[in-house]
Structure 1
Amino acid sequence: MTQDWTVQRVPAADGAEIVLHSIGAGPGVVVVHGGGVTIAMYRRLALRLADRFTVHLYNRRGRADAAARAEPYDGEQDIDDLATLLTWTGARNVIGHSSGGFIALQGAARRLPIGRLALYDPAVQVDGIGPTTGWLPAAREAAAAGDIPRAMALTSAGINTHAAATRLPLFLQIAICRLFLRTSIGRTMGELLPTTLDESQLIHRHDGPPEQWAGVEAEVLLACGAAGPPYYRPINEALAAVMPHARSLIVPRAGHDALNRAPQHLVDALADFFTAPVTSEPAGP
């Protein structure tokens, strides 16, 4: 049966509007998307979950149909918007991807009413595990100068430390990025690159011991792709060791973009997690 998307305009805490795109039937799931992209990359995931859940997508501030983002960026609007949507939809299930995982985890730590939180490759720094910050100043300088191919090449090499392309000379990485920027997704990522750099800086500022997340009471699934950046596995294991209701999962045949590609084995793992009995109570508002 074909399902249609519904679009609602939800008043945010600061008076702006959050444009909420929803599809499906069943328990609600709010998706907090990653950096450098819009919800367009998550529609396949939503469609494949829609026979079991009502899936809610929304663009975070400064993207597509979202309101402008406050500057300097500190992530607070993102957390406030997630709180607003949990109240509006009544959903208690959340999926967070990459930097969206960082936002969702911060929301859970602040006791937003989240019962189950599925994080895929959450961009969280734990005891220095993860990409270093050495590339950020040069990437920011290039972006400020309008040299987006160079800024993108530096960013990709700094984050995707496992990729073969990072071992190429920088001029070749820049050439590859220049070609990528001609694609639809490349143009979007290029336009949003300053946002990606801001989020990367914020995530690095929150580096610290995993115990800072020990107060998260939600049921948490910490998933990472077997073919993605290698630092997500030890990060997830460290987080799972201190959260009272968390477990880690390595998804076979999956890279960092697996949540966007939505292979059936990942979709089924998410569905199983969201339908399993909950052993903890959702946090209060």
Structure 2
Amino acid sequence: MEQHWTVQRVPAADDAEIVLHSTGSGPGIIVVHGGGVTIGIYRRLALRLADRFTVHLYNRRGRDDAAARAEPYDGEQDVDDLAALLAATGVGNVLGHSGGGFVALRAAARGLPIDRLALYDPAVQVNGLFPLDWVPAARAAAHAGDIARAMAITGAGLNTQSATSRLPLAVQVAICRLFLRTPIGRGMGELLPSTLDESALIQHHDSPPQQWAGVTAEVLLACGGSGPPYYRPINEALAGALPHARTLVVPRAGHDALNRAPQHLVDALAEFFTTPVTSERARS
């Protein structure tokens, strides 16, 4: 099936341009992608939602067709860019994945006009539940120019459920050196220093879940049943603090399920984004 895309250039708060790639028809959904990737891996998801929704993808700063990222990185520019897209499109539905989930949740906490917020494996640090003690070692390796080692440390730190993470580090580094020879690996390697900056920021925002209690959007906190095990308690803790939230464990799904877009996950997202809003924002 051929997929038709339109491209719109939206002015950002700093006068840069945000390039918005849109497809489909119906209510809009803005997708905030995770760290270490670009929008390319979400095109299958967009295709499978396009018969019911207009799906908007955009590259976050420092990636592909996006403008450069402000340094030092504090995440505020990510939230500002999402605010510009919400204003330009009038969309009230947001889907955040991994580090993009952290961006989207911060945007909702700031009071941006988000009616429905779906977060899949959100990289949000709550009471130390998200494992990030590996970040200093990975950043040191990246700073020294050893991207394969930095990638191996990152992979082992995040993918705690994987058998590969229990291999000797030297073996993991060798695997990453091979992976870096592939197009996907090269892209992830180039973005790894930025991903580590984002991870450090997430760690800096460690707090009890009540930090997010002011979010008024309807929130779906989803995680993969086959993915890293820490997302489930993180989602449960967030659901206990957010006033309009529920959790969903997606069977037979890993951290990359949004990229793979299995039908049962696509249908669950579609159901959430078509449910009438009952939050304080809608009532007001």
Task: Sort the TM-score into its range (normalised by shorter chain).
Answer: over 0.9
Report what 2:194 is aligned to.
195
Q: Distance in 1 between matches of 2:280 and 2:2?
A: 35
Q: Which residue of 1 aligns with 2:176?
A: 177
Distance in 2 separating the partners of 1:146 and 1:136: 15
CA distance in 2, matches of 1:2, 1:144: 42
- Looking at structure 1, the residues matched to 35 and 181 of structure 2 have their Cα atoms a distance apart, in angstroms, of 19
State the alpha-carbon separation in 2 of the partners of residues 272 and 186 from structure 1: 34
Q: Deviations over 1:62-104 (max 9, x none)?
A: 0000000001100000000000000101110000000000000
Q: 3-state SS of the aligned residue for 2:52?
A: coil
- Whether contact under 8 Å (1:114, 1:283) holds in the other structure is no
283 and 33 in structure 1: CA distance in 2 versus 1, 3 angstrom threshold:
farther
Q: What is the CA–CA distance in structure 2 between the aligned matches of 1:78 and 1:71, rounded to whole Å? A: 12
Q: Structure 1 CA distance, aligned partners of 2:70 and 2:251?
A: 38
Cα distance change on mapping 1:283 and 1:180 into 2, 3 Å: farther
Name the % identity: 78
CA distance in 1, matches of 2:129, 2:135: 16
**Within the alignment, does 1:61 sit opposite 2:61 as a pair?**
yes
Q: Does 1:107 align with 2:92?
A: no
Equivalent-residue separation in structure 1 for 2:56 and 2:212 (angstroms)? 25
Gaps in structure 1 of 5+ consecutive residues = none
For the residue of structure 2 that corresponds to 1:192, the secondary structure is helix
Listed as ranges, the gaps of 5+ residues in structure 2 are none
Q: Which residue of 1 aligns with 2:96?
A: 96
Amino acid in structure 1 at the alignment position of 2:179: F
Say whether the 8 Å CA contact 2:132–2:199 is kept in structure 1. Answer: no
**Partners of 1:282 and 1:33 in 2: how far apart?**
25
> What is the alpha-carbon distance in structure 2 between the residues aligned to residue 98 and residue 132 of structure 1?
14
Partner of 2:130: 130
2:209 counterpart residue number: 210
Question: Does the CA contact (< 8 Å) of 2:49 and 2:266 recur in 1?
Answer: yes
The answer to whether the 8 A contact 1:111-1:283 is kept is no
Partner of 1:155: 154
Structure 1 consecutive aligned stretches of length 4 or more whose deviation exceeds 2 Å = 281-284
The equivalent of 1:78 in structure 2 is 78
Report the count of equivalent residues: 283
Instruction: Deviation per CA, 1:2-55: give whole Å up to 9, x if none.
Output: 441000111101010000000010001000000000000101001110000000
SS of the aligned residue for 1:13 comes to coil
> 1:166 touches 1:173 (CA, 8 Å); kept in 2?
yes
